[in-house]
Structure 1
Amino acid sequence: MGVIRLKNMQFYGFHGVNESEKHLGGRFEVDVEMQLSLKSACETDDLNKTINYESIYKTVDTCVKKDKFYLIEALANSIAKDILKDHSIDSIMVRVRKPHAPVHGVLDTIEVEIERNQADYV
């Protein structure tokens, strides 16, 4: 078993409950961690035996840009679902951060983390 991570991918999207978030949008940061067998890829040095990082990035990019969600929880779930649907991985962890969330206080970011596996979407 192995792990592939794409960390701190950055996108612009229109997710949130406030009108300004829906119309002006904001920056979102995404981490994806995928667990899968890497044995064949390690032995053959063949890209077709592993996950193409560019494909994962494009899937996340599409998820962030195609829909508008009220909650980053729903966005994270959509990302996990689309990656699991299109790729042969055992499980996935998705983190979505909203660095400039409109809260009345000082903070670095708001982050949601979800874990899913293939059985969650059967």
Structure 2
Amino acid sequence: MDKIIIQDLLLRGIIGINPDERVKKQDILLNLTLYFDIRRAAETDDIQYAANYKEISKRVIEYVEASSHLLVERLATEVARLILTEYPIARVLVRVEKPGAVRFARSVGVEIERDRGDFGLE
């Protein structure tokens, strides 16, 4: 399966369990790998057969910046669900990181991989 890579989306949102994290937006770093067969798009050079990564990115940004999950695990899962239910993506790898969340670490995060079957879509 082919891969479309969206790397280092730096967003601002509410994420975390501590009281100060519930009111102040903080940096959230998001990386996505979208598994999608690009052959028809490549053969026809037609966007209707492609995974429109600009549209997908805009939708994910909109979602993350409006969300207020407690855990990065939940945010990663909901981003995967959004992509797989709204777009014809076969599988997605989602990495969510909180830069500076742990002292002496550049960032801390989770990485999950989900397919359409994980959300009852196939």
The AA in structure 2 aligned to 1:9 is L
**How far has the Cα of 1:60 moved from its partner?**
1.3
Aligned residues: 120
CA distance in 1 between partners of 2:56 and 2:10 (Å): 13
1:114 alignment partner, one of 112, 115, 121: 112
Counterpart position of 2:63: 63
Counterpart position of 1:40: 40
Secondary structure at the residue paired with 1:107?
coil
Structure 1 runs of 4+ aligned residues shifted over 2 Å read none
Secondary structure at the residue paired with 1:65?
helix
Secondary structure at the residue paired with 1:88?
coil
**How far has the Cα of 1:63 moved from its partner?**
2.0
Secondary structure at the residue paired with 2:3?
strand
Counterpart position of 2:91: 91
CA contact (8 A) 1:90 1:118 kept: yes
Secondary structure at the residue paired with 1:77?
helix
Q: Which runs of 5+ in 2 are unaligned?
A: none
Question: Please, what TM-score do these two structures have when normalized by structure 1?
Answer: 0.94
Counterpart position of 1:28: 28
The AA in structure 2 aligned to 1:41 is A
Q: Which runs of 5+ in 1 are unaligned?
A: none
The AA in structure 2 aligned to 1:117 is D
The AA in structure 2 aligned to 1:35 is Y
Of all paired residues, the percent bearing the same amino acid is 32
The AA in structure 2 aligned to 1:121 is F
- Tell me how large the CA RMSD over aligned residues is: 1.0
Counterpart position of 1:17: 17
